[in-house]
Structure 1
Amino acid sequence: MTVQWNDLIARDARALTASEIRDLLKVADRPEITSFAGGVPDPALFPLDTFKTIYHDLTSDEAAGRRSLQYSISEGLPALRHWIVDDLAASGAVRSIDNILITCGAQQGLDLLARLLLEPGREIVVEKPSYLGAMQAFSMRRPTYVGINMDDDGPVLAELDAAFAGGARVAYLAPDFQNPTGRSYTLERRLAVLEIARKYGAVILEDAAYSKLSYEGDVVPSLLALDEVDGDPDAGTVIQLGSFSKTLVPALRIGWVCAPRTVIERLVLMTQASDLHVSTVNQEVACRAARDLFPGHLETLRDAYRHKRDTMLAALDEFMPEYVSYTRPEGGMFIWLTLPENIDSRQLLAQALEDAKVAFVPGQAFFCDQSGRNTARLSFATEKPERIRNGIERLALLIKRVHNQ
């Protein structure tokens, strides 16, 4: 008898769908395509020479090299967690290494937290739009999404309050240079969000993946830093997810969760049941790289990405028709387009790939309710400035033509 795989696959696993972005990247990788699609760092900025030295020094030290190739503790290397704690403290978030779990990228942190906090039908608040990868992690638990709209200052507070009043107790928010819009919350909006969450005893999952990629303006404290309750690091409402993927290199797959100890203890047990721990050698390399490179490498990244952002914004200002609006992010990797209502960005993408030789991500994929059909995400991170300008010009000409049809 033939195995009936569809009958055997669990309902949670059947809830997963393919990533629209991952599928698009296969097409956008063609050399003739100017790609604004992938939310990935520019490989030309990877500090290759530093990594060559670190790997050489690590493998040349027999004792350290052998330790780095051995099993390790599930919480993560103490030295790396100490570095993260010191870095958090420098930005105003005082925690201990007992509040830190090292994960395989921030994505594993999202998966672990989804399994810890969500179950079928339980409500989770997400921004409209929100990070697609987070919703993929959450969807395997089959929650009920409560989408809240955003304005230029952050989430609409009345909608957030109504969501918590209606029974939701978990919210996933990205206050800094959000993927996909590039928007950031003001300080006043962050404080108001925390006040509402405390009012209802709700948990905020703060995605801080892009927080260090700030190109202008004042640095605003994270929700984690603002979440101080009588100086007790275990009494707050915020769980923060961090990552080295955008500031060092993604291939190390080093992220972390910062949370109250009660949460970390549960996540450690889940980690032990799934992959035991994150790669020891990758943790060691990440720790050495962070100590050697920061803050100088961050300034290199900021200068490079600032120039690319400015190039894209200048091209949008010059070539886009007045009926197309877009965000003006102060950091991160993304600009968000809002097109006229008569343009479906998924249909536009097919024409852009064929006619304009430009790739972007249709915005509908980032909405929990599949709205946003006339929106699109552009990333300025990987293309060279001259290709950014030329690609925006071609895309603008296409939009004008489609709008007038």
Structure 2
Amino acid sequence: MSVTELFATRTEGMHASEIRELLKLLDQPEIISFAGGIPDPALFPRVEFAEALAWATSDTEAAQSLQYAPSEGYTPLREWIVRYMATLGVSCAVDNVLITAGSQQALDYLGKLFLDPKDTALVGWPTYLGALGAFNAYQPVYGRIDPRANRSAEEITQKAASRGGRVKFAYLSADFANPTGLTFDRAEREAILAKADALDIAVIEDGAYQALRYSGTAYPPMLALEQARKGDMEACRTIYCGSFSKTLAPGLRVGWVVAAKPVIQQMVLMKQAADLQTATLNQMAVARVAEAVFDSHVEKLREVYGHRLNAMLASLGHHMPEGVDWTRPEGGMFVWMHLPEGMDGAELLAQALRTQKIAFVPGGAFFADGSNRNTIRLNFSLLDDKTIDEGIRRLGEALRAEMAK
């Protein structure tokens, strides 16, 4: 008997990430890649991290930075997050904060916390591929969260029951969502919160891109809106997941969760069982750098990435054929493209790699049911204007060739 026959049934929902596979293309210099949600390494605060790591491993700090630490996280970093969340309109205490190994770990823990097999998770259509990967292991059924839909709470609940479970949470990124780049306005956020109250479910708010706004109106996080209405963090059902990956550096794998204390306490137990703690050295370095340069560094990112977004939108307008349309985000790292009906993004990728040496992410992977295959995701954060324009020109050529078949 093969050992694979002993695998738990939950592994049937685990699939290789198309994005992680496409990241391998970054090692091929001839490929222009719009594939990964990759920060530009030239913009990392490298000097500040070098100084912070030197401090953290100094004679006075090494006994702490290289030692075991509380599972909740490094207290000065949690205190910084309390202050940061206050600037977003969220009033919380240190005990409302858990440090995780990136926000991806938080999504895994939240799937484990809420989902029994056949429970329903409401997600965007499309939604973040990594969230689907995290939740799939817990064998949910997926439903669609749409603030404009008129489906009643009773209808949603009954459908979940017919599938053998309960509705447990709505997961969404309210600001510059991955993959579409779109943002929910204030009315849409309030509508989702009202529907969550009616359903009596949790709301998982993915704030990975919240800081990267380049134009337009900024809206409060959903957690801030709910707290303003209910008054007390402990009465809130929204769970905010934050990350330093898109603002400071992804390689250190430091993220956080802000939520009511019972949620944090249960997630701490999961962290103790999984990895004991997020690396203390990394937390100390991130806390030091965030304290010193977070605001000014984010302003620099907004200037550079905002310019690149505008460059991509201009190139798309110049090079794309008729029958193609795309989103026009006000922040984040992605533009979402709709191809003509009947076209397959995965097939277009295969052709584009072969004939034009460009890469992107096919859109079907972002839909829980694999539908809407005539979509693709483009990332603009990693490339300069000239490379963006050349890559979009090549994409236009690949599309014209596919449309001519």
Shorter chain as normaliser: what TM range? over 0.9
1:320-359 pair list within 5 angstroms: 320-359=320-359
Contact residue 29 and residue 35 of structure 1 kept, 8 A? no
Query: Contact conserved, 1:337 with 1:375, CA < 8 A, in 2?
Result: yes
Distance 1:159 1:303 in 2: 40
Corresponding position of 2:374: 374
Q: Distance between the aligned counterparts of 1:218 and 1:15, measured in 2?
A: 39
Spell out, residue by residue over 1:278-317, the C-alpha distance to the aligned partner (whole angstroms, 9 max, x if none).
1011110010010011210001100110111011000001
The residue aligned with 2:398 is 398
> Pairwise mapping of residues 100-249 of structure 1 onto structure 2 (< 5 A)?
100-148=97-145, 155-159=147-151, 161=153, 162-164=155-157, 166-167=159-160, 168-228=167-227, 229-249=229-249
Select between 18-27 and 106-115 the one with higher mean Cα deviation: 18-27
CA distance in 2, matches of 1:82, 1:358: 43
User: What CA distance in whole angstroms lies between the structure 2 residues aligned with 1:206 and 1:134?
Assistant: 11
Amino acid at match of 2:46: L
Structure 1 vs Structure 2: percent identity of aligned residues?
46
- The one-letter code matched in structure 2 to 1:11 is T
Q: Which residue of 2 aligns with 1:56?
A: 54
Which stretches in structure 1 are left out of the alignment for 5+ residues? 150-154
Distance in 2 (CA, whole Å) between partners of 1:260 and 1:160 is: 27
Aligned AA (1:98): D
CA contact (8 A) 1:204 1:237 kept: yes
**RMSD after superposition:** 1.4
Partner of 1:89: 86
Contact in 1 for aligned 2:170/2:204 (Cα 8 Å): yes
Find the residue that maps to 2:61 and give its secondary structure: helix
TM-score (norm 2): 0.95
Quick one: distance in 1 between partners of 2:350 and 2:361?
A: 11
Find the counterpart in structure 2 of residue 71 from structure 1: 68
Equivalents in 1 of 2:205, 2:91: separation in Å?
16
Once the two structures are superposed, residues 249-286 of structure 1 have per-residue CA deviations (whole angstroms, 9 ceiling, x without a partner) of 01110001111101111111111111111101111001
Q: Cα–Cα, structure 1 residues 339 and 159, in superposed 2: closer, same or farther, change >3 Å? A: farther
Alignment-mate amino acid for residue 300 of structure 1 = K
By how many angstroms is 1:230 displaced? 3.8
8 Å contact from structure 1 (residues 380, 388) kept in 2 = yes
Structure 1 stretch displaced more, 39-48 or 11-20: 11-20
> Superposed, which structure 2 residues align to 1:260-279 within 5 Å?
260-279=260-279
* Gaps in structure 2 of 5+ consecutive residues: 161-166
Would you say the 8 A contact 2:178–2:334 is kept in 1? Answer: yes
Counterpart selection for 1:99 from 63, 80, 96:
96
Deviations 1:133-173 (A, max 9, x none): 00001000011111345xxxxx4332585535644231111
Runs of 4+ in 1 over 6 A off after TM superposition: none
How far, CA to CA, are the matches of 2:65 and 2:26 in structure 1? 37
Residues 342 and 403 of structure 1 are in contact (CA less than 8 Å); yes or no, is this contact kept in structure 2? Answer: no
Residue in 1 that maps onto 2:35: 37
2:254 pairs with 1:254: yes
SS in 2 for 1:218: coil
> How far apart, CA to CA, are the structure 1 residues paired with 2:338 and 2:42?
30
Letter in 1 for 2:263: V
Q: Is the Cα–Cα contact under 8 Å of residues 125 and 163 in structure 1 kept in the other structure? A: no
Give the counterpart letter for 1:265 in structure 2: Q
* TM-score where L is the length of structure 1: 0.95
Q: Find the aligned partners of 2:71 and 2:63 in 1 and give their Cα distance.
A: 18
Q: Aligned equivalents of 2:84 and 2:95: distance in 1? A: 15
Which whole-Å CA distance do the structure 1 matches of 2:75 and 2:105 have between them?
19
Q: Say yes or no: does 1:317 pair with 2:317.
A: yes
CA deviations 1:220-265 (Å, max 9, x no partner) are 1010111125421111110111000000001110001111101111
Counterpart contact for 2:101–2:278, Cα < 8 Å: yes
1:11 aligns with 2:3: no
Deviation at 1:390, TM superposition (A): 0.6
Whether the 8 Å contact between 2:25 and 2:33 is mirrored in structure 1 is no
2:248/2:294 contact within 8 Å kept: no
